[in-house]
A and B are shown apart, each in its own frame.
Chain A
Amino acid sequence: MSVVFEVVAPRLLGPAVVIALALIVKGYQDTGDGFSAGVIVALAIALRYVVLGVDEAERGLPVLRHAPATAACGLLVALAVGFGPVAAGDPPFTHFPRPGAHVVHLGTLELLTAVAFDIGVFLLVTGALTMVVHHLARLVEASRA
């Protein structure tokens, strides 16, 4: 593999995370959602595995080991947003503020429960895909040894 690839690929994670955050922050107003954002982050992580190999990739970025927890956390967030309203007697997936109500904006980010749901999906997709990459990479590594 070319040197350029080996140098550039591992450093793509930063930009990928920024793009993912941008997709979430612009939220409801433009193309892209939590799923796309999660896939983008997972993409950068997968690239890192391909270039560096499993051991190197995980030694340099120990935070990857929290992928299962991230995925589970995302599921919990999504569940809480989706079914929280049931506790108050509303149908599931009732989002707040309600239609027509005022929405607080932070720049382009709208403070909506729908966006919180999207963030849950983002965490889940990121964690789950990272787990798949990790397991496949371990398997490939084991079959080589």
Chain B
Amino acid sequence: MRLGRDEAWAAFAVAVIAFGACLAGWLAGGVTVDIPWAPTLGIRLELELDGLAALYTLLATGIGALVFAYGAAYLPWHLEQERRPASEALRFWPWMVVFMGSMVGLACALDLVLLFVFFDLTAVASYFLIGFDRHRREARGAALMALVVTGVSAVALLIGAVLLYVEYGTFSLPELFERATPGNTTTAAAALIVVAALAKSAQAPFHFWLPRAMEAPTPVSAYLHSAAMVAAGVLVIGRVHPLLEKSDAVLDGMLVVGFVSIVVGGVLALAQDELKQILAYSTISQYGYVVVLYGIGGSAAAGAAALYVVAHAIAKSALFMTAGAVTVATGESRLSRLGGLAREMPLLAAASAVACASVAALPLTLGFFKDEQFFAAASERGGAVRVLAVVAAALTAAYIGRFWLGVFAGRRRAGARGIPGLLVAPVAVLGVVSVAGGIFAGPFVRLARDAASVTHGAAVELAPSYHASATGENLMALVAWVAGALVLVAPRVREPIARAVARAGDVAGPRRLYGLTLLGLSRLSTRLHALEVRDLRTSIAAVFVPTALLVAAGFAVTPTRNSYALGSIERKDLPLLPLLALAIAATFTVARDRGRLRPVLALSVLGFALAGVYAVAAAPDVALVAVLVETILTIVFVGAFSRLPRAPMDDRSAPRRRPHRIRNLVVGVLAGGGAFAAIWASLSRPTPRAVDAAEYIRRAPEAHGTDVVTVILADFRGLDTMVEVTVLLVAVFGVASLLRRGTVW
């Protein structure tokens, strides 16, 4: 039992130290690291702990620390439920820490390639965390879905980065902000980056991976699916926002996607029965708010978005942990089987009530300010956005009220047993933080203001406060609460609608499209593979047909003038002629002889003849290697053939096939003619690397050598040799494990 907990507390310690370091760095005014990584490609390890980075690193490490403490109590229970040994915790905590590290890196990265690397690292870590219960098929499927959806769309981020690099010559974001001008390239790149970010933040139509990811143990959901993984998407949007602002189309697209996500997430959250599913759809909806704010743009919206991320992460993380604690206490995870727990678990009920109030933006919580700022930013944009904002807030109030009331109020349905205090304490801490933020908003506002000034590219004013007056924002909030309460008290109207939407999503939603696409790809791959391995002919064709097509494409686009030059035969070339004649004769034997050993021997004659050509053409090193390789191949062939049965192959037992004489002839002539033309063309051109060769020859004596090839192998290109021999050794160990089940000898 101790084993699992020690790792948890080690992870906790790492998180606390990281939190302290990030806090100190932020208060000290930022930390910058800038080291060349791949200078020839312009990629730098450019990291800065600026305002935006501070916000997300503090969330990742602070909430991380609380979730890790919670996990120290939760994971042993989870492993016991799944009948797994406590030592399995070793497969859990390292990935949690890796995730936290990549999140911190992502928050600080200012280089687009570095951003991509950390972006994918979070996806990889989340794959292992979501699929932690790997004996369960659903968990594996959910992990794969999260990886595929976020990983494939992350490629869009890389493509966008490369587009920008090609156009403006840098991957560095600060430089791009200066150089990029509005135009098609910027729009396309911005759209691609936004697609990757939206998939990560589980926005429609990529939202379907998040509810599936609830297969993960609760600490994973409380961390990744509230404050970290899904936050990574809006973090990227916040980071590249100055680029996005150069394209109105991208901003408007985000506005639409955000509102669709708010509504889809909110309505579907009303239809769910599982606690974590409600919270997952709520997360989709809540990040929709942030995306809307970034779509609105401008200084007020940037500030609101940053404040929103903080308030939501704190509250949602507390609610996920509440769901886990309730499940540990009662053994139930469905709303329909829970109720009336407030009397038995008063502290948990109070703490999660605060968190719910924060999500629903009730006064005296940090969440109130997030909606106040949201309404203020929406009002700037005018009528329709204003109405949608109120609808969004009403939906939020309705589903979060349904969550809390369903668990803690009403008739008692399932009994609760005592649970470790460690499952409640982190929720209580987050509840206290939410209330403290509602009364003394100062530190949170400062954090959000610093973050927003990075997003906006200029200083941002952000001064949330309570106004006990009939301002627009207060009225909108009031209307939203009343509408939310009406939805809440009318289950007869609410439930059929929510269920119908959920069913429509199941039948024709993006998740189904994802499933069909995956199935189609799998079938295509199976069919191609079956075709490829059908017989020797198709196996060879699988290599040569694509090669031929590529070469043919090369012919099609290369100008042919002066490509086919005829040299003259000089006296020193005469020894080549008999060798080449020998090679030709050997080739005919290989093709025509129907025996077993003779074609092999003819093949090696061909090889030796070519080795002779190398020797004559003043390439003794190549000749030596060619002779050795020919010899070893011949020995392997002879060795294998000597073990075959003596009797000749029985042609009669093989099924009769129609002879394809004409087809074979056509294919043979085309292939031979094509190869001949390709080699002729390449020999007609001077080698482009002659300059390098001359340089190597000039400098060989400096390296104390006279044999240039040896010097190149051991010195000039030593690193290449090193990699090649390493690959050789790895391949041999691979052969050993394939042939003899892993015995090395």
Size class of the contact patch on chain A: 35 or more
Asked whether A32 lies within 8 Å of B624 as measured between CB atoms, the reply is yes
- Listed by A's residue number, 15 A-B pairs whose Cβ atoms lie within 8 Å are A28-B704, A29-B707, A31-B620, A31-B710, A36-B625, A43-B631, A43-B632, A75-B729, A100-B702, A114-B714, A114-B715, A128-B729, A128-B732, A131-B736, A140-B640
B561 at interface (Cβ–Cβ under 8 A)? no
Contacts of A114 in B (CB 8 A): 703-705, 711, 714-715, 718
CB distance from B574 to the nearest CB of A (A): 23
B649 at interface (Cβ–Cβ under 8 A)? no
Contacts of A97 in B (CB 8 A): 704
Q: What are the 6 A-B residue pairs with the smallest beta carbon separation, nearest first? A: A28-B705, A93-B718, A50-B639, A99-B702, A114-B714, A39-B628
Contacts of B636 in A (CB 8 A): 46, 133, 136
What is the CA–CA distance of A11 and B714 in the complex, to the nearest angstrom? 32
For B640, the closest partner residue in chain A by CB is A140
B638 at interface (Cβ–Cβ under 8 A)? yes
Contacts of A25 in B (CB 8 A): none
CB distance from B628 to the nearest CB of A (A): 4
What is the CA–CA distance of A4 and B707 in the complex, to the nearest angstrom? 38
> Do A71 and B715 contact each other (CB < 8 Å), given the known contacts A121-B725, A134-B745?
no
B541 at interface (Cβ–Cβ under 8 A)? no
Size class of the contact patch on chain B: 35 or more
Asked whether B739 lies within 8 Å of A125 as measured between CB atoms, the reply is no
- The residue from A33, A68, A135, A143 contacting B713, defined by CB atoms under 8 A apart: A33
**Chain B 695-718 interface mask (CB, 8 Å, partner A; 1/0):** 000000011111101110111001
Asked whether A33 lies within 8 Å of B714 as measured between CB atoms, the reply is yes
> Do A75 and B713 contact each other (CB < 8 Å), given the known contacts A49-B639, A144-B643?
no
Contacts of A137 in B (CB 8 A): 639
Q: With A46-B635, A117-B718 given, can you name 15 additional A-B contacts, CB distance below 8 Å?
A: A1-B642, A31-B707, A32-B710, A33-B707, A39-B632, A43-B635, A46-B632, A79-B722, A93-B722, A99-B703, A117-B714, A121-B725, A128-B728, A131-B736, A136-B639
**Chain B 450-488 interface mask (CB, 8 Å, partner A; 1/0):** 000000000000000000000000000000000000000
For B702, the closest partner residue in chain A by CB is A99
Contacts of A42 in B (CB 8 A): 632
For A121, the closest partner residue in chain B by CB is B725
**Chain A 74-87 interface mask (CB, 8 Å, partner B; 1/0):** 11001100100000
Interface members, chain B 608-634 (any A CB < 8 Å)? 620-621, 624-625, 628-629, 631-632
CB distance from A80 to the nearest CB of B (A): 11
A13 at interface (Cβ–Cβ under 8 A)? no
What is the CA–CA distance of A72 and B729 in the complex, to the nearest angstrom? 8
Asked whether B713 lies within 8 Å of A35 as measured between CB atoms, the reply is yes
For B701, the closest partner residue in chain A by CB is A99
B719 at interface (Cβ–Cβ under 8 A)? yes
- The residue from A50, A93, A124 contacting B715, defined by CB atoms under 8 A apart: A93
B721 at interface (Cβ–Cβ under 8 A)? yes
A15 at interface (Cβ–Cβ under 8 A)? no
What is the CA–CA distance of A30 and B711 in the complex, to the nearest angstrom? 10
Asked whether B729 lies within 8 Å of A132 as measured between CB atoms, the reply is no
Asked whether A82 lies within 8 Å of B643 as measured between CB atoms, the reply is no
CB distance from A101 to the nearest CB of B (A): 9
A3 at interface (Cβ–Cβ under 8 A)? no
B726 at interface (Cβ–Cβ under 8 A)? yes
What is the CA–CA distance of A103 and B629 in the complex, to the nearest angstrom? 33
Asked whether A28 lies within 8 Å of B736 as measured between CB atoms, the reply is no
For B706, the closest partner residue in chain A by CB is A29
B543 at interface (Cβ–Cβ under 8 A)? no
**Chain B 166-194 interface mask (CB, 8 Å, partner A; 1/0):** 00000000000000000000000000000
- The residue from A36, A82, A121 contacting B628, defined by CB atoms under 8 A apart: A36
CB distance from B594 to the nearest CB of A (A): 23
Contacts of B640 in A (CB 8 A): 136, 140
A92 at interface (Cβ–Cβ under 8 A)? yes
For B703, the closest partner residue in chain A by CB is A99
What is the CA–CA distance of A21 and B531 in the complex, to the nearest angstrom? 49
Contacts of A1 in B (CB 8 A): 642
> Do A82 and B718 contact each other (CB < 8 Å), given the known contacts A30-B706, A97-B704, A112-B704?
yes
Asked whether B728 lies within 8 Å of A29 as measured between CB atoms, the reply is no
**Chain A 39-58 interface mask (CB, 8 Å, partner B; 1/0):** 11011001101100000000
Asked whether B639 lies within 8 Å of A28 as measured between CB atoms, the reply is no
Contacts of A27 in B (CB 8 A): 705, 710
CB distance from A64 to the nearest CB of B (A): 9
Asked whether B703 lies within 8 Å of A75 as measured between CB atoms, the reply is no
B652 at interface (Cβ–Cβ under 8 A)? no
B744 at interface (Cβ–Cβ under 8 A)? yes
CB distance from A53 to the nearest CB of B (A): 9
B13 at interface (Cβ–Cβ under 8 A)? no
Interface members, chain A 92-145 (any B CB < 8 Å)? 92-93, 95, 97, 99-100, 103, 110, 112, 114-115, 117-118, 121, 124-125, 128-129, 131-141, 143-144
Which residue, B707, B714, B729, has most C-beta atoms of chain A within 10 A? B714
CB distance from A111 to the nearest CB of B (A): 10
CB distance from B569 to the nearest CB of A (A): 27
What is the CA–CA distance of A39 and B715 in the complex, to the nearest angstrom? 21
- The residue from A40, A82, A103 contacting B719, defined by CB atoms under 8 A apart: A82
- The residue from B638, B702, B709, B713 contacting A50, defined by CB atoms under 8 A apart: B638
Contacts of B736 in A (CB 8 A): 131, 135
CB distance from B661 to the nearest CB of A (A): 35
Which residue, A72, A75, A97, has most C-beta atoms of chain B within 10 A? A75
For B736, the closest partner residue in chain A by CB is A135
Contacts of B639 in A (CB 8 A): 46, 49-50, 136-137, 140
- The residue from A29, A35, A135, A144 contacting B740, defined by CB atoms under 8 A apart: A135
For B740, the closest partner residue in chain A by CB is A135
Asked whether B705 lies within 8 Å of A47 as measured between CB atoms, the reply is no
Contacts of B632 in A (CB 8 A): 39, 42-43, 46, 129
What is the CA–CA distance of A144 and B620 in the complex, to the nearest angstrom? 41
Contacts of A93 in B (CB 8 A): 715, 718-719, 722
- The residue from A32, A79, A118 contacting B621, defined by CB atoms under 8 A apart: A32
B735 at interface (Cβ–Cβ under 8 A)? yes
CB distance from B328 to the nearest CB of A (A): 50
What is the CA–CA distance of A75 and B702 in the complex, to the nearest angstrom? 27
For B723, the closest partner residue in chain A by CB is A82
Asked whether B624 lies within 8 Å of A71 as measured between CB atoms, the reply is no
Contacts of A32 in B (CB 8 A): 621, 624, 707, 710
What is the CA–CA distance of A117 and B703 in the complex, to the nearest angstrom? 14
Contacts of A78 in B (CB 8 A): 722, 725
Interface members, chain B 643-675 (any A CB < 8 Å)? 643
- The residue from B620, B719, B745 contacting A67, defined by CB atoms under 8 A apart: B745
> Do A135 and B707 contact each other (CB < 8 Å), given the known contacts A36-B625, A82-B718, A99-B702?
no
For B639, the closest partner residue in chain A by CB is A50
Asked whether B719 lies within 8 Å of A138 as measured between CB atoms, the reply is no
What is the CA–CA distance of A124 and B704 in the complex, to the nearest angstrom? 24
What is the CA–CA distance of A28 and B643 in the complex, to the nearest angstrom? 41
What is the CA–CA distance of A1 and B635 in the complex, to the nearest angstrom? 14
What is the CA–CA distance of A43 and B108 in the complex, to the nearest angstrom? 55
Asked whether A31 lies within 8 Å of B729 as measured between CB atoms, the reply is no
What is the CA–CA distance of A60 and B721 in the complex, to the nearest angstrom? 34
CB distance from B697 to the nearest CB of A (A): 14
For A30, the closest partner residue in chain B by CB is B707
Contacts of B706 in A (CB 8 A): 28-30
For A42, the closest partner residue in chain B by CB is B632
Contacts of A128 in B (CB 8 A): 728-729, 732
For A28, the closest partner residue in chain B by CB is B705
